[in-house]
Structure 1
Amino acid sequence: MTTILPTAADEAHFWALIESAWATLGDEPARLRAELLAPPPGADLCAIDAWLDRFLEQLTADCADLSAQELTALDRVLERKLYDIDREDIHEATDGSDDGFLYARGHIVALGRAYYEAVSADPRLAVMDAYCEVMCYFFTHLHEKRFGDWPRTGSGISRESGRNRAGWNH
């Protein structure tokens, strides 16, 4: 079976959509997201969670006209991003059950590329017990709603917890 990897263009489109959705929400969520990269003493690291529903609503609106092919490509990127941070060191920083860890990784992805890359490099930046379940299958569910089925990414990987063997010491 041939494994299909996300293209650089698909990855750029993915992160551009995430950033565009956040940008429409204004300065406050931008400030809160920036604080997560270098948390000041006493910062409320969960304050950004109050903005997640609005972010997801905006992201949904921004994806309204995307084709099945585009949604499949975006789901392939999301699947890969979740898989790549399916690691024991990140799990230790976020806690949670298998499902909880998937949702924690969804939170990391939802907060954008800068945060994703920062947590990937230094898992201590992850917020303990922070979740964004909707993000984990966001493009899958959009595809299903619009086209009646789940996208077939052809990636050969799973976004579920513990599937990235290279990320775990067992």
Structure 2
Amino acid sequence: MNENAFWQLIDDCTPSTPDPDAEQLAMALTNRLSAGPLATVIGFAEQLSWALYRLDRKEYGHDLSSDSFLYTRAAVVAASREAYEAVLRDPQLFTPYAQDLIWAESLLYVPDEAYSRITGEEWDRSTRYSYESYSNTAGWADE
């Protein structure tokens, strides 16, 4: 799955009603991925990890706990490609997510749940980029 396909899937699965914790989005994504080939699930996991990794930078940190920072970054991804790219261009746009504790924790479990539905097994997932908070060492380096 390439980046455009990832964002198109997010867009296609975004509910038309407010979904503050991205629960409906996560459910729709899981259902869609579960119906497709395993390669699509793996590709989604890679793209999600990459998107979260790119937001793992000190200019977004806002003194959040590790988990809060991760869930808040997930909320930016869940918001849309446009919102995500705007935050990448202007770190100040991350502030409302952090201050209002807008989280999308459920988005993190989508690939694992879809994998489990397809294979009947738990996924010991490893992706090229870690989405865990503070794993992007270049994003936290002093310049």
TM-score by length of 2: 0.83
Which one-letter code corresponds to 2:59 in the other structure?
D
Q: Which has the higher Rg, Structure 1 or Structure 2?
A: 1
Which one-letter code corresponds to 1:57 in the other structure?
M
| 1:1-170 matches, cutoff 5 A | 10-22=2-14, 25-26=15-16, 29=18, 49=20, 52-92=22-62, 95-126=63-94, 127-128=97-98, 129-147=101-119, 148-150=121-123, 152=125, 155=128, 157-169=129-141
Cα contact 1:10–1:77 (8 A) shared by 2: yes
Unmatched runs of 5 consecutive residues or more in structure 2 = none
CA–CA separation in structure 1 for the residues paired with 2:104 and 2:134: 18
- Matched-pair identity in %: 30
Q: Secondary structure at the match of 2:20?
A: helix
* Greater RCO (Cα-Cα under 8 Å, separation 6 or more): 2
Encode CA deviations 1:75-101: one digit per residue, 9 max, x unaligned: 011111111110111112xx5211111
Structure 1 runs of 4+ with >3 Å offset: 151-154
Encode CA deviations 1:24-61: one digit per residue, 9 max, x unaligned: x33x55xxxxxxxxxxxxxxxxxx516x2222222223
CA–CA separation in structure 2 for the residues paired with 1:62 and 1:83: 24
TM-score by length of 1: 0.71
Q: Secondary structure at the match of 2:34?
A: coil
CA-based RMSD of the aligned residues comes to 2.1
Moved more, 72-81 or 118-127: 118-127
